[in-house]
Structure 1
Amino acid sequence: MKSTYKKVASSNISISELMLPSHANFSGKIHGGYILSLLDQIAFACASKFSGNYCVTASVDTVDFLNPIEVGELVTMKASVNYVGKSSMIVGIRVESENIQTGLVKHCNSSYFTMVSKDKDGANAMVPGLILSTLEEVRRFENCLNQIALKKEKKREKEMYNFCSEETINRLEKHNVLIQLD
């Protein structure tokens, strides 16, 4: 049983940054890799703020690029802890861009990072329990439980699956693939 609990709101963090030409890819849109770097930074800040410890990224569970971000737009990332385990947390991040001339705001990205709290010796450290104060926070927590269950099931299936069976090879050959085993 956890001895301390914190509200989701205690983990809330946001950052805003103006997108510069140096952040653009060859098509003139903001490079996805740059956005991923910012996502990792805010996930770290959010998890560390909530846990009170140094945190590391265990997995990037979902990154959905929904709309492109243009040079000159103001990007705002909002993060919160949606789920806690013993030493892990799932941080949800919403990315919006704003055209500073027109005021138009668009939802550009939704992401989920699993972060692990570490003590000063690098061992996993216990995180506070989570106080859910709104139905939206309950929905997000429940969504995380479902995602964790799906992740475990996928891992189990992968461990049991025979990638080299004749049945698998026959099924794969129906796709746009040529199998030439040496």
Structure 2
Amino acid sequence: MSDNREVTLRFLAEPGDQNFGGKVHGGAVMRWIDLAAYACSAGWSGKYCITAYVGGIRFMKPILVGSLVEVKASVIYTGRTSMHLSIDVNARDPKREDGHKTTHCIVIMVAVDEDGKPAEVPEWKPTTERDIYLRDYALRLAKMRTEINDEMSQTLAKLDGEA
């Protein structure tokens, strides 16, 4: 396990990442988020990790092709086999200092062993006021996910019964 619970990927947004509107495609941003989440969770746990959940993704501002992009992943809560990560994507013109947040989401990664079964991860303990807030944020979102999953299950069961 690494003592560092954060990873930042930095690169230039390329023309191949462009959508029909000339900005970076949301799917490209989601791929970058998944890469950063894997690098962070694998580094924290020392194990191969799989994506279990991506939620609350907020696309706040577009990313222009040629922008310097930073994707920062941080462990904000650990379960027995899972790691909740806060992901922030920032972008800026590489010739300038001023950047802006473009995207935010939460990703849950699960560590797995050689047989693909969930494996225990080291516990992350918040120490600062900010870390405690982020841990509590992850726990509040987990509660909301349970409510959303229940609602979706009920709706899908009803709609499938009508088919």
TM-score by length of 2: 0.90
Instruction: Structure 2: give runs of 5+ residues left out of the alignment.
Output: none
SS of the residue 1:129 aligns to? coil
Q: CA deviation at 1:122?
A: 1.0
1:57 lines up with 2:51 in the alignment: yes
Contact 1:62 1:113 in 2 (8 A): no
The within-5 A match list for 1:20-99 is: 20-99=14-93
Q: Given the superposition, is the C-alpha separation of residues 35 and 159 from structure 1 closer, same or farther in structure 2, using an over 3 Å criterion?
A: closer
2:17 and 2:152 map into 1 onto residues whose CA distance is 37
* Residues 60-101 of structure 1: CA deviation (Å, up to 9, x unaligned): 122110000011110011111111111011111111001122
Q: Which amino acid aligns with 1:51?
A: S
Instruction: Structure 1: give runs of 5+ residues left out of the alignment.
Output: 1-5, 165-180
Q: CA deviation at 1:133?
A: 1.7
2:151 and 2:13 map into 1 onto residues whose CA distance is 42
SS of the residue 2:124 aligns to? strand
Q: Given the superposition, is the C-alpha separation of residues 19 and 158 from structure 1 closer, same or farther in structure 2, using an over 3 Å criterion?
A: closer
Contact 1:47 1:89 in 2 (8 A): yes
1:19 and 1:155 map into 2 onto residues whose CA distance is 34
TM-score by length of 1: 0.81
What is the count of residue pairs matched by the alignment? 160
Q: Which amino acid aligns with 2:82?
A: S
Q: CA deviation at 1:104?
A: 2.3
SS of the residue 1:55 aligns to? strand
Q: What value does the CA root-mean-square deviation take over the aligned residues?
A: 2.0
1:151 to 141, 145, 150: 145
SS of the residue 2:141 aligns to? helix
SS of the residue 2:115 aligns to? coil
1:141 to 135, 150, 154: 135
